[in-house]
Amino acid sequence: MPSPKKNKTEKRLETLAVKTKEQKQAFLEQLPKYPIVQVACEKSGVGRSTYYAWRKDDKAFAKLADEAIKSGTFFINDMAESKLIQNIQSGNNTAIIFWLKNHHKEYNERIVHEHEHNIELEDEDKKAIAKALVNIGLGNILKGYNIDPVEWHKKQERERAEHKKRVAGVLSGADSKKEEEPKKPERMVNISEMMKKIEAEKKMKIIEQPPKRPVKKGVDVKEWFRKRDEEKRRLEGK
């Protein structure tokens, strides 16, 4: 029985699969020689994005690529060391110095950074740190600073109790002082007395006012003063 004919899409996919397989093979052949992805991509004509897409979709390809990079790195390192030794043998001072700095302890350039920070903490900060350590179950760390976690916890409880006692004493003292203060009696207001006082103030104000001389023409000055005196005696009750 003859096999069914493949349509154009199937043929195109089959051709693409064959081409992809050939590209992967070419890339894996270049990777051990040049164990750098960018260089291997340029040598095999494969894009970097294509390479990483292959790694994501094809786990077998990713494993082969990692092995090729590891093999190529070992090869390049071995070749570089061989060249370095050749340069040393030929008297190249740069190669000699490089080798000694990396393989001889007397020629190592070591930079040791020692930082010592002395931070003075306030008592409140120390208490907060110690409390946090005890709460999370790391109270044993306090022993490194000659602090017994159990004794510290008891001390904190005593201080807390004393603080509550002091607060209660202050509050009770304030309440008793407030109760002992006598209540001032309310002053009764006498309306009649108030009105008499107001009338008297009005009279005094009128009496104390200096007399004004008449300014209109044709006014008898003597008559004006006489009337003023009569009004004054009337107000005084005479």
**Do 56 and 140 belong together in one domain?**
no
> Which residue, among 234, 189, 227, 194, has the nearest Cα to 211 in the 3D structure?
227
Which pLDDT score, from 0 to 100, does residue 54 have? 92
What is d(CA 112, CA 100) in angstroms, rounded to the nearest whole number? 20
Indicate whether 29 and 102 sit together in one domain.
Answer: yes
Compute the average pLDDT of residues 132-156. Answer: 64
For residue 41, the model assigns a pLDDT of 92
Which residue, of 180, 199, 227, is where some domain finishes?
A: 180
Q: What number of CA atoms fall less than 13 Å from residue 80's CA on the CB side?
A: 8
Residues 31 and 89 in one domain: yes
- Asked if residue 92 and residue 61 are part of one domain, the reply reads yes
Q: What was the pLDDT predicted at 125?
A: 66
Is residue 9 in a domain? no
Q: For residue 67, count other CB atoms closer than 10 A to its CB.
A: 13
Same domain, 140 and 103: no
Q: Are residues 86 and 135 in the same domain?
A: no
Last residue of a domain, one of 107, 137, 165: 107
- Residue 150: pLDDT band by 50, 70, 90 thresholds? low
Of 45, 67, 43, 39, nearest to 55 (Cα)?
67
User: pLDDT tens for residues 178-210?
Assistant: 555 555 555 555 677 777 777 777 666 655 555
Q: Which of 141, 164, 180 is where one domain is finished?
A: 180
More confident residue, 11 or 42: 42
**Is 33 within a domain?**
yes
Range among 108-112, 140-144, 220-224 with highest mean pLDDT value: 220-224
Within-domain flag for 133: yes
Average pLDDT score over residue span 65-83: 89
Residues spanned by the domain of 46 = 14-107
83 and 142 co-located in one domain: no
- Cα–Cα distance, 33 to 130 (Å, whole number): 60
DSSP single-letter state for residue 4: P
More confident residue, 194 or 85: 85
Average pLDDT over the chain, rounded to an integer: 75
> pLDDT over 90 for what percent of the chain?
14
- Shared domain check, 130 and 98: no
Tokens, residue 135:
């709460």
Per-residue pLDDT, 185: 55
Q: Model confidence over 14-66: pLDDT tens digits? A: 888 889 889 999 999 998 888 889 999 999 999 999 999 999 998 999 999 99
**Is the CB of residue 81 less than 8 Å from the CB of residue 98?**
no
Residue at 186 is within a domain: no
Measured distance CA(94)–CA(107) in Å, rounded: 14
Q: Of 85-94, 112-121, 194-203, 224-233, which gets the smallest average pLDDT?
A: 112-121
For 182, phi then psi, to 5°, come to -70, 145
Lowest mean pLDDT: which of 53-62, 90-99, 104-113?
104-113
Q: Judge whether 145 and 139 are in contact, CB under 8 Å.
A: no
Task: State whether 96 and 132 are in the same domain.
Answer: no
Q: Is residue 99 part of a domain?
A: yes
Considering the domain boundaries, does residue 214 fall inside one?
A: no
Q: Do residues 51 and 64 lie in contact, with contact meaning Cβ atoms separated by under 8 Å?
A: no
Verdict on whether the full-model pTM lies above 0.85:
no
Apex 133 CA angle, 130 and 135, nearest 5 = 110
Nearest to 129 by CA among 145, 108, 116: 145
Segment 84-100 shows an average pLDDT of: 85
**Number of separate domains in the chain:** 2
pLDDT computed for residue 50 by the predictor = 92
26 & 87 share domain? yes
| Radius of gyration over every alpha carbon of the chain, rounded to an integer in angstroms | 55
Let me know whether 26 and 95 are in one domain: yes
Which amino acid, one-letter code, is at 95?
A
Are 47 and 127 in a shared domain? no
Residue 126 has pLDDT above 70, yes or no: no
Flag whether 200 is in a domain.
no
**Per the domain annotation, does 62 fall within a domain?**
yes
